[in-house]
Amino acid sequence: MLTVEGLRSRYGRIEVLHGLDLEVASGEIVTVVGANGAGKTTLLKCLSGIQPVTAGSIVFRGEALTTVPAHARLQRGIAQSPEGRQIFTNLSVEDNLRLGAYLFRDQLVERDMQDAFAMFPILKQKRNLAAGGLSGGQQQMLAIARALMGRPSCLLLDEPSMGLAPLLVTQIFEVVKGLKSLGVTVLLVEQNAFGALSIADRGYVMETGRITMAGPAAELIADERIRAAYLGL
């Protein structure tokens, strides 16, 4: 579904992605794990089109995306739930969801909203309240639900577990795992390597702008080097 080859990106004169190769097949949950500063967010921004690529290719469903602008990538089925959630705190929960559906003017938006509420009943309860009043975990649910309102076939998730209490971390990873049954393909980037690898089919380890390991998630979790460096085991 998504093939990235030789991807390079820079901020000014400083290159931070040094030629990444990765692949996501339809229906998979793929995770990229790595420490703070490894370049995970930059990678997702390159994929969603808000960060310039200096070399390499991004092919989505057979089409080269490198020169396709961000809004057109959403039309093609790629949605992002950004790092730090980036919800509109002054707007209601429902209006945040509507913004995720800005591409659509059809009645299916209402259906999608009901689907989102079925998935996250707490958001239904709080639909008319300002999103800024939600807890961290609820805001993360809203960020995921808002991205889903764009009807993506491929969802990019940037550190959904960041800053959440352990119980909520588990809950959010369960939600991400559940996206599979909705037919949504997921590319998840996380510092929480254990949580992410526990729900993923395959994983990549990223270190300072390079992929250093790749494989089935179960194999990565069992790897001694990864256990020592990322899992604290």
Ligand X SMILES: Nc1ncnc2c1ncn2[C@@H]1O[C@H](COP(=O)(O)OP(=O)(O)O)[C@@H](O)[C@H]1O
Are β-strands 202-207 and 29-33 bridged in parallel, bridged antiparallel, or unpaired? parallel
30, 39, 144, 196: which one contacts ligand X (CB under 6 A)?
39
Q: Which is nearer to ligand X, 56 or 77 (CB)?
A: 56
Backbone CA torsion sign across 121, 126, 127, 133: negative
Interaction of residue 84 with ligand X, rule CB under 6 A: no
Residue 36 interacts with which of ligand X, Mg ion, none, CB < 5 to 8 Å by class: ligand X
Q: Which of residues 41-60 bind ligand X (CB under 6 A)?
A: 41-42
Interaction of residue 203 with ligand X, rule CB under 6 A: no
Q: Which is nearer to ligand X, 52 or 133 (CB)?
A: 52
Contact residues for 33 (Cβ-Cβ < 8 A; gap 6+): 189, 190, 191, 192, 193, 196, 197, 203, 204, 205, 206, 230
Residue 185 interacts with which of Mg ion, ligand X, none, CB < 5 to 8 Å by class: none
Tell me the closest approach of the beta carbon of residue 153 to Mg ion, in angstroms. Answer: 23
Interaction of residue 146 with ligand X, rule CB under 6 A: no
Tell me the closest approach of the beta carbon of residue 122 to ligand X, in angstroms. Answer: 28
Asked whether the beta carbons of 17 and 46 are under 8 A apart, the reply is: yes
Residues that bind Mg ion (CB under 5 A): 40-41, 83
Beta bridge partners of 59: 3, 64
Number of residues that bind ligand X (CB under 6 A): 10
Tell me the closest approach of the beta carbon of residue 79 to Mg ion, in angstroms. Answer: 17
Contact residues for 147 (Cβ-Cβ < 8 A; gap 6+): 79, 80, 81, 100, 155, 157
Name the amino acid, one letter, at 36. Answer: N
Are β-strands 210-216 and 202-207 bridged in parallel, bridged antiparallel, or unpaired? antiparallel
Stretch that binds ligand X, among 40-48, 63-71, 173-181, 216-224 (CB under 6 A): 40-48
Contact residues for 229 (Cβ-Cβ < 8 A; gap 6+): none
Q: Report in angstroms the alpha-carbon separations of 181 from 28, 129, 186, 199.
A: 10, 29, 11, 13
Interaction of residue 181 with ligand X, rule CB under 6 A: no
Interaction of residue 16 with ligand X, rule CB under 6 A: yes
Q: Which is nearer to Mg ion, 16 or 122 (CB)?
A: 16
**Binding stretches for ligand X (CB under 6 A):** 11, 16, 34, 36-42
